[in-house]
Structure 1
Amino acid sequence: MKYHSNKEMKKIFSPAYREHYVEGYSMGLNPFQQFNGRKKNDAFVAGFNSGRLDYERMNGYISEGIPQRIVTDKVLEDFLIAGLLGLPIDDDGYTSHQIDMIEKWYESGIEKYDPNQSISLFELLEKNGILIN
């Protein structure tokens, strides 16, 4: 386990560091974005590397090609909710790597599926004019 000095910890919690980290992270999540040397501060590089690792965890290595559909945390949460509600899913356009990730989230939802709770939710949604097919 790596321990950080107080100086490193203060740097991590500074607003400027956080801003550069988030900027790097969001660029790392974009598979079309390449890292360039113009932003060389530690926060940006750490954020970019973290974002790229998250992208590749969900979508596979960029070197293997960019998939037709991109999986994000939001997409995975949608599949989890579909599993919780017992809804069928559409997995067209996803790679086998992505489908493996999606199945884990969907199955996690199915494990928690309660038909009685789903009926109550569907009734509430319908009462508010939201229909789910």
Structure 2
Amino acid sequence: MKNIFNPIYRQDFFEGYSAGQNPYSEVKNKTSNSAFNDGFNSGRLDYESLNGSIHEGIPKKIITEKILDEFLLAGLLGINVDTDGYTHFQIAILLKWYQSGIEQYDPKENSYLLDILEENGIEVSYSEK
């Protein structure tokens, strides 16, 4: 990454990063735009760190930061999660986030949060283990 504070470089970098996050986009290293290439490579590395190598195939379900946050929250609330459709590589990542939530689990906070959600008309279904 050269000069992320340069607005032109930064824009090209983030365009490349977005393209790299898309597992269906092709490598653009043939372009002379180094900012785009740097962003693409960074985005692809981030994608593959969560979903596995593209060379091994594109999974049915793609893990994003939002999915990770949902698994962390499920662990915090002690809610069971569904891992159907994820690869073994992805499940290992998701379980780390879920486990991190479980480690921070506080039954009192869980009760308070569930009460607040119910007061606002949000139903949370979970099953006792």
TM-score, length of structure 1 as denominator length = 0.89
2:24 equivalent to 1:28: no
Aligned mate of 2:90, from 98, 103, 109: 98
5+ residue gaps, structure 2: none
Q: Check the 8 A contact 2:75/2:101 in 1, yes or no.
A: yes
TM-score, length of structure 2 as denominator length = 0.92
Per-residue CA deviation, residues 27-62 of structure 1 (Å, 9 max, x unaligned), is 001000112356431111110000000111000000
2:7 aligned partner = 15
1:68 aligned partner = 60
The 2-side partners of 1:125 and 1:38 are apart by 51
Q: CA deviation at 1:73?
A: 1.2
2:109 equivalent to 1:117: yes
Q: In the alignment, residue 57 of structure 2 is paired with which amino acid? A: G
5+ residue gaps, structure 1: none
> Sequence identity, in percent?
53
The number of residue pairs the alignment matches comes to 125
Q: In the alignment, residue 20 of structure 2 is paired with which amino acid? A: G
1:85 aligned partner = 77
2:120 equivalent to 1:128: yes
CA RMSD of aligned residues (A): 1.4
